[in-house]
Amino acid sequence: MDKVILYHGSKEVVEFPEIRIAKFNKDFYFGFYCTKYSGQARRWATRFTGKGVISEYFYVPDNTLNVLSFSEMTEEWLDFIVQCRLGISHSYDIVEGPMANDTIFNYVQNFADGKISRSAFWELVKFKKPTHQISFHTARALTALQFVKGYEVDG
């Protein structure tokens, strides 16, 4: 398979990615998150201070890894994100799919809390354009990434 360029936005160059347990559960649970969109990585990198760093990687898909991929927001995607955000782990090495940006995340949270119905969720997100994320959840999955370079960016 061909290698793909992925981007990670943060406050420092990440030459050696690692899986970190964070204070809050993420869309696809704890992992190392990248995107195929450099503009999205720039937003991740600059969201707090207006300055940040993008780390760029070659990703070579490995068919021996346990990968879950969502090509779009679906019922399965919604259920998976709700489970992960509730702190329920999974056994996938890599998960790829749309990202629940701030607005969509609020709708996911309202759905998870029982404040809106499933049909109301889909009505609210109908005109929202989801972004892309790919998350690496095991040390073995991280070996599919090869660091290329890191560079500073402004918001």
pLDDT-derived band at 55 (thresholds 50, 70, 90) equals: very high
Alpha-carbon torsion, ordered 8, 21, 24, 76, to 10 deg: 70
Region 95-118 average pLDDT: 89
% of the chain beyond a pLDDT of 90: 74
Q: Measure the CA–CA gap between 61 and 50, rounded to whole angstroms.
A: 32
pLDDT band at 100 (very low <50, low <70, confident <90, very high): confident
CB atoms within 10 A of CB 132: 14
pTM across the whole model: 0.91
pLDDT (tens digit, 9 = 90+) per residue, 63-82? 999 999 999 999 999 999 99
Domain boundaries, the chain: 13-34+60-144
